[in-house]
Structure 1
Amino acid sequence: MQVVLGAAYERRLDEAVAHLIGVGADAAGQQLLDDAYDALPKRLAQAPRIGREFIAHNPEAPEVLAAWTAVRELLGDDIELREYILEEYLALYAIHRDCIHLLTLRHHRQCGFDFSEA
């Protein structure tokens, strides 16, 4: 299955790595880069449903509904929205037809997902 890294995913990843480097955690920044750009896409290509179903764990929460709505506007209704725990980060991705879209990334302490590209 093809894995596509979305612009918001790459942007959030760049911000997370810049933050880690800014606080002197260069090794953690490099590990996050390796995991998010290399290991995770390979893992998802082999086992697309390895992440937990996103909407099921708290379907009434405003943050969950907002993310669900944003992804449906982006890709349409025929999606399976999942999240993968990547150390201290959550990667939101969608399975849409024969493609996996890595949509965005956030630290586990952040509230909601940011889909903006800028």
Structure 2
Amino acid sequence: MHLTANFRAKLSAIEAYWDEVQFRAGYDRLHEEIETVAIARLERFPSMGRPFLDAKPDTFDALVRCELLAGRALEDGVVREYMLKDYIILYVQTADVVSLLSIRHFKQTSEDFEHLWLSGR
């Protein structure tokens, strides 16, 4: 299991949010769910997440970004999403490793795919 720099940065931002609203338990629950549930399941069943690119984009901008992501995904593996209680983890499954790419609250509507894929991991 590999946690990319982008995933770590997103997780740090989530931690900062929970600290800012003075509810550390919110972050602690998320961290526990990632460590004990998500990682354990993805290590054992890496194909369990839904292929992310199967979702149909609803805007032109999203379509263009998904096309860019699709080209990169073919090189690197299958981009999948794994649902937690309140968060979505994007990860890529290759032949020898699962890399966690990003995490966001399910109410967030977009991702910075150019930064995620085109600036390196």
SS of structure 1 residue aligned to 2:75 = coil
> Conserved in 2, the CA contact under 8 Å of 1:9 and 1:103?
yes
Please give the alpha-carbon distance, in whole angstroms, between the structure 2 residues aligned to 1:82 and 1:39. Answer: 16
Aligned pair count reads 114
Q: TM-score, normalised by structure 2?
A: 0.77
The Cα of 1:70 is off from its aligned counterpart by 4.4
RMSD: 2.5
Partner of 1:47: 45
Percent identical pairs in the alignment equals 26
Partner of 2:109: 111
Question: Between Structure 1 and Structure 2, whose CA radius of gyration is higher?
Answer: 2
Q: Which structure features the higher share of helix residues?
A: 2
Please give the alpha-carbon distance, in whole angstroms, between the structure 1 residues aligned to 2:79 and 2:45. Answer: 14
Mapping of residues 88-99 of structure 1, within 5 Å: 88-99=86-97
Q: Deviations over 1:1-38 (max 9, x none)?
A: xx111010011011012102211221111011122244
Partner of 1:80: 78
Partner of 1:69: 68
Q: TM-score, normalised by structure 1?
A: 0.79
Higher relative contact order (CA 8 A, sep 6+): 1
Q: Deviations over 1:27-64 (max 9, x none)?
A: 11101112224432221001111211111121565436
Q: Which structure features the higher share of strand residues?
A: 1
SS of structure 1 residue aligned to 2:43 = helix
Partner of 1:5: 3
Partner of 2:25: 27
Q: Which runs of 5+ in 1 are unaligned?
A: none
